[in-house]
Every structure is written in C-alpha cells, then in structure tokens.
Amino acid sequence: FSISSGGLRFNFNNLITYSKEMQEILCKCQEPMKKELMDGVADFAQEVFDFDRDFEENGPMVEGLEAREASDRVLLFQARFDELWRKYEVYSSGEKLFALQVNEYPILIERKKQFNLLQKLYGLYLVVNKAIDGYFELAWQDVDIEEIMAELVDFQNRCRKLPRGMKDWPAFIELKKKIDDFNEACPLLEMMANKSMKDRHWQRLEKLLGCPFEVDNDEFTLKNVMEAPLLKFKDDVEDICLSALKERDIEAKLKQVILDWGGVQLQFANFKTRGELLLKGQETQEINGLIEESLMVMNSLAANRYNAPFKKEIQLWVWRLGTTGEILESWLIVQNLWVYLEAVFVGGDIAKELPGEAKRFASIDKSWMRIMMRARMVLNVIEVCVGDEMMGQLLPHLQEQLETCQKSLTGYLEQKRLIFPRFFFVSDPALLEILGQASDSHTIQAHLLNVFENVNKVDFDEKEYDRINAFSSKEKEKIPLEREVMCLGGVETWLGNLLREVKASLGTVISNAWAFMHEPEFNLLEMMAKYPAQVGLLGLQMYWTRDAEFALVNWKYDKTLMRKTNESFLILLNTLIDQTTLDLSKWERVKYETL
C-alpha cells in the first residue's frame, strides 16, 4: 500500500506529541517510585540481615543438628532464600533503572554458594534415604542384590565427588555410613538370598540372631532381614551361608550318583540251552569299575565337614555301593564254580560215582536258577544286590556248598590219579571230561595224546564196541595189540591195562626188529618199511652200536676191520641220503631225514 507524504507527516507529528505526554507522566511518577524503591531496598537489607542471623542460629549448619532435621531445614531455608534472591534481582534492576548505586550483598552471594553445596549433599542424602527405604520395602523373594549393589556403587561414587569441605558435616558422615553399612551387608544379603538356603539354614540364623525369618511369607521384606544384627555376627552368618553353598554341592553330587545308579542294569548271557543263567563277565567288571569311582566320590562327601544334613544318606550309599561290589565279586566266583561243577554233576557219569555231592549240587542248582530269575526280573544292579538280604545271605552259602562239592571232587580226582598216575599230567577240566564221558569208551580218542606220548588213536573191534585191538601214532603208524583190551570198569582201570598192553606190544615189535637185524640178508630199507619209524630209528642205533662194538673189540685181529666197518656205515648213510632225494610223503620225508 502507499501513504501520501502529507499523511506520513501527520502521523509522525502525532507520535511526537504522544511521547511528550508520556514523558510528563513519567516525570510526575519518578519520584514516588524512586522513593518506594529506596524504602524497599532498606527493608530488603534488613531482611537479608535477619535471614543471615536466622540461618546462623537456626539453619541446617547448626552444630549438633541431626542429618534428617538438617535436611528439613535446608528445604525450609531454601524457599526463603529463593524469595530473597528474587527480590535482590528486582531491586538491583530498579537501582540500575534509576541510575542509582547498585547495593551489593556479599552475605547473600555466600549463602547462595552454600545452598548450592547443601543441595548437592542433601539432595544425595534424600535420594539415598529414599532408595534404601525403598529397598526395605522390597519383598524378600523379589530382592535383586546385584541391582542394589550396582546402585550403591553409584551412590558411593557421587559421595566421593562432593567437595572436601563437606566431609566433616554430619549429613555427609551419616550418608557415608548409611551407604557403607548397607554395602557391607550386601555380600551377606547376597549369600542369604542364594537358592541354596534351606529352612534348616534359616532356623540356624534365627537361633543365632534371635530374629524370626518367615521367608516363605509374602509380607516378609528386606527390612525384616536388615533389622537383624547381621554385621555383629558377620562371621557366623557367613559360615551358615557358606555351609548352604557347600551343602548344595554335596546334595547335587549325591543326587547325581543316585541318578546314575538308577540306570545301571545287569547284563546276562545264555548258558548252553538252559537260558540266561550267567552274568556277562566284562560288563560286570565294568560295573565294578563304576562302583569304585562312585565310592571315591561318596567317600569324599563323607569326609566333608558340611555333610551333616546328608550324612545318613551318604553312609547308606557308601554301604550300598560297597556291598554291591562285594556281592558282584562273590557272584562271579559262585558263577565260575557253578559252571565248572555243572558240567560234572548234570548229566555226567561222575554224578553216579558221587551221589551225595550230586544231590548237594542239585539243591545249589535250584538256588542258582532262583537267583538268576530274580535278577532278570529286577535288572537294576543296586536293587538286585542290596534291595533285600537275599543275595547277601544266599551267595556265601552257595559258595560254601560249591566249595564243598569242589573239595569232594578234588578228592575224587586224586583217587583216580593214584590209580592211573598219568592223570597227574592232565588238567582238572580235561580229566573231568574224560571221567564224565567214561560210560562211552570211544570218547577217549580225543584225550589219548594227553595220557600217552604218541598214541593218537585206538582201533575198536567192529563187533564188540568196547574192545581195543590196535593203536596208532600221529604219523598213522599202526601197531596191533598182542592182547586186546576190554574197556570195562573205571576208565582209569582200563587205561592202565591199555598202557601195559601198548608197552608189551611195542616191546614185541622191538624184539622182532632186533631179530630182523641178525638175519643174513638184512636190508635197512626193508626194516624201515616193515617197522614203525621210531622202532626203525632204535634198530638203526642198535645196528650201529653192535657193529661198532664188534670192530672195537676185534680190530687187533683184523687190521682192516675198522675200515670195513666205517665203509658199511657210509653205505647205510648214503642209502638214507638217496632216499631223501626221492618223491616221498610228508611223514616218510621226516622219517628219513631224522634217520
């Protein structure tokens, strides 16, 4: 828009007129306002003086004043000071406006600095009190000690940052003590809040501190705990809490051992066609190894001084594990004896000769069947061994009975060996097999080499089942018996008869070989073919001895006799060497190379 030059001048003249009128009005008001300002300044100076005196006499820095009372006074005097400071700023502005000398109030500036410090101290004091009072109201179950400790560390840091001059003030001392005391109690509270604390530990604390601890009550707070003289009995409280931690570890290890053994089962093996009547040896030995490891753990727990709440259970498991180990060892011993004697007394000929022991073993066998049936039903090794007294009582009895049977059996075997001494060179199991199958004379074939040097087989008569008419060596060289042997009576008896006939028959063969050597047309190879290799070797030795002895005796009568004898021996040697170059059977080659 546009304004004409005439209108602009008119408006400017009006503004000048208005400003002159306002100046006249202000000149008329200046003196009254100035007087009012000066009267106000005078009154303000008195207020400052009165405030300063009141602050000195009744302020928060009065000596001996409690920290909480001082805190309240800080709030009260702070409000009055804020009002004075507002007036100070108003009056100072008025004095500048009227170009008067601005009054200074050094004491007011000093108090402002003091209030700044007091605000820092008592502000922190109030925050700390509010926080700690808030802690006290926390339900014990909701207490988070780590969070509280972190907040206390922050309070301590803020406390350290306060000016050095305030550190002698009662509020600072009380503040620091409150933080330090609560901080000192925090480790105890942390231990007491641990989940390892059980009713028994709280009962011990109640007895020690003389305060009830209803920790399961929802209304039980941290305040109830802090009211107890924790710091006074700090060491004892720590010991109780430490025992709770140790007991928790003991309980965990004990439970783990119990849990582990809840899953350990016996392993069974079949015995002949009678079913699962044997413990597996290797698996059972592994269980014994586990028992030793668990016993080491349990013994360490038994020696721990914090084991009181679990002592009976620890002792029980030490006994259960130790007894189980002993029973398993005894069980394997009884099992070995039972297996050994079962082959003797069940279905064998020995049972007929030892009817009393056979009857005893039959009773043992029934008990063994009952033990193994129960073990297969229960399976768990601990329950089987110590679930009741059966195993602990029955196994020693069975072992005693089996040892009695074994002793009688040993005496029986001794009698057989005295009758046929070559049985002394035969192991008990092999001898038991021989005696157990004695009713069938043909079963002796598998054991002949155990009782004879080289009798590998005997020939039975085709018509009479128990008549022996010849015997053969491992090299399949057969010699007929001069007198046939009947397998009648005990095996030890007819084996003795067989031994005598074998010796007699072999002696006859050797005599025949000796006679053959004296025939005028003696032929070495014919003797080797006609007689067994051992007899041939013996005949060759007798031939050499005879001719060598004759030459030594008669050489003085015939000077060429020694040479002729040596030549004849060389002929024999060359004949044998020539035989080894031929295509021979395995046994023939061994025979001629030996000769």
- Residues 215, 169 share a domain: yes
Q: How far apart are CA 126 and CA 149, in angstroms?
A: 18
Let me know whether 293 and 390 are in one domain. Answer: yes
Beta-strand ranges (E) seen in 214-325 are 268-270, 276-279
442 and 501 part of one domain: yes
The amino acid occupying position 528 is: M
Tokens of 325: 């180990």
Token pair belonging to 589: 């080659």
107 part of a folded domain: no
Residues 399 and 377 in one domain: yes
- Same domain as 408, residue 275: yes
**How far is the CA of 418 from the CAs of 213, 414, 492, in angstroms?**
86, 6, 9
Give phi and psi for 457, each to the nearest 5.
-155, 150
Give the C-alpha separation, 127 to 13, whole Å: 65
Identify whether residues 141 and 221 lie together within a single domain.
yes
Q: Is residue 51 part of a domain?
A: no
Q: Return the residue matching tokens 């005097």.
A: 77
CA distance 149 to 427: 81
> How does DSSP classify residue 482?
E
Radius of gyration for the chain, computed over Cα atoms and rounded to the nearest angstrom: 60
Decide if 77 is inside a domain.
no
Place of tokens 């039972």: 338
> Can you give the pLDDT of all 595 residues of the chain as single tens digits?
445 566 777 787 788 887 877 766 666 666 677 777 677 777 777 877 877 787 777 777 766 666 677 667 777 877 877 787 888 777 788 777 776 777 787 877 777 777 777 777 777 777 777 777 777 777 877 777 788 788 878 877 877 777 776 777 777 777 777 777 777 778 777 787 778 888 888 888 888 888 888 887 777 887 787 778 888 888 888 888 888 888 889 889 999 999 999 999 999 999 888 889 899 989 999 999 999 999 999 999 899 888 888 899 999 999 999 999 999 999 999 999 998 888 888 766 788 888 888 899 899 999 999 999 999 999 899 999 988 888 889 999 999 999 998 898 888 888 888 888 888 888 888 887 888 777 788 888 888 888 888 888 888 888 888 888 888 888 888 888 888 888 888 888 888 888 888 888 888 888 888 888 878 777 777 777 777 878 877 878 888 888 888 888 888 888 888 888 888 878 778 877 877 777 777 777 777 767 6
Crossing angle (nearest 10°) for helices 311-345 and 428-436: 50
The verdict on residue 255 lying in a domain is no
Residue 280 lies inside a defined structural domain of this protein:
yes
In 3D space, the residue among 451, 447, 425 whose CA is nearest the CA of residue 436 turns out to be: 447
Whether the Cβ atoms of residue 363 and residue 390 lie closer than 8 Å to each other: no
Residues whose CB falls within 8 Å of the CB of residue 279, separated by 6 or more in sequence, listed in order: 266, 267, 268, 269, 328, 331, 332, 335, 375
| pLDDT tens per residue across span 194-253 | 788 888 888 888 888 888 888 877 778 877 877 788 888 888 888 888 888 888 898 899
Q: Which two tokens stand for residue 562?
A: 């020694």
Please report, for the domain that includes residue 312, its CATH number: 1.20.140.100
457-460/268-270 β-pairing: unpaired
Structural domain range at position 403: 264-417
Give the total number of structural domains in the chain.
4
- Is 442 contained in some domain? yes
Which of 196, 200, 301 has the alpha carbon at shortest distance from 258? 301
Separation of alpha carbons 194 and 319, rounded Å: 33
In this structure, are 360 and 430 located in the same domain? Answer: no
- The structure's pTM equals 0.62
- Assigned domain for 61 exists: no
In this structure, the answer to whether residues 237 and 154 fall within a common structural domain is yes
Tell me the longest C-alpha to C-alpha distance in the chain: 197
350 plus 429 within the same structural domain: no
Q: Is there a domain that residue 75 lies in?
A: no
Q: What is the DSSP letter of 296?
A: H
DSSP 379: -
At residue 403, the 3 state secondary structure works out as helix
- 511 with 450, same domain: the answer is yes
Say if residue 276 is in the same domain as residue 405. yes
Domain end residue (candidates: 463, 489, 517) = 517
Query: Last residue of a domain, which of 365, 396, 417?
Result: 417
What tokens were used for 253?
A: 């290890």
Phi, psi of 322 (to 5 degrees): -60, -45
Task: Using the 3D structure, point to which of 394, 417, 440 is the last residue of a domain.
Answer: 417
- Triad 512, 517, 520: Cα angle to 5°: 120
Same domain, 371 and 352: yes
* Listed residue (456, 449, 452, 510) closest to 482, CA to CA: 510
Helix axis angle for 586-594 and 533-554, nearest 10°, is 20
Task: For residue 301, give every residue at least 6 positions away whose Cβ sits within 8 Å of its Cβ, in sequence order, or none.
Answer: 250, 253, 254, 307, 310, 314
Q: Say whether 269 sits in a helix, a strand or coil.
A: strand
In angstroms, the CA 272 to CA 262 distance is 31
